[in-house]
Amino acid sequence: MLDYTDLKKKEGMEPWPAMKELPFIDVLEGDPQHKGRFDVGGFGLRTMAGVWECTPGKFQNTYPGDEICTILEGKLKTIDENGKLHEYGPGDIFYARKGEVVTWEILETIYKVFYIHDPDAEQLSEEAA
């Protein structure tokens, strides 16, 4: 079992590939920088869980898997496929399905806990750390 009461700490976070290099991200404004830590899985695996931080900027995200996340720090706005504006801050939780296209505008550096499941990925994830 993973307990994010303790695991939400930023220890062990590493820079992730530049957003402009990720096939599911289209940077629209600014130069958002991100880093994270996988506690389960990793890029391209069926199950991924961990923490992620990103600096301000605006980008379109085509979700590579079903994701639920909890915002721990910062502020952001999203616009979903139906054009609905959502505003999130610490304590807020949201879900997006695989393939959903969502525009993110990060207003203050965000830090979140995430869980992503890609039912189409062939490789299973490693056991929890």
Element containing residue 90 per DSSP (H, E): none
Amino acid letter, 18: A
Q: Residue 129's pLDDT is what?
A: 47
Full pLDDT tens readout for the chain, 129 residues: 889 988 888 999 999 999 999 999 999 999 999 999 999 998 888 999 999 999 999 999 999 999 999 999 999 999 999 999 999 999 999 999 999 999 999 999 999 999 999 988 877 665 544
Angle at 113 (CA atoms; ends 107, 116), nearest 5 degrees: 110
Q: Residue 43's pLDDT is what?
A: 86
What tokens were used for 112?
């979140």
Query: E strands, 1-129, where?
Result: 14-15, 25-29, 34-40, 47-54, 57-62, 66-79, 85-88, 93-96, 101-117
pTM for the model stands at 0.91
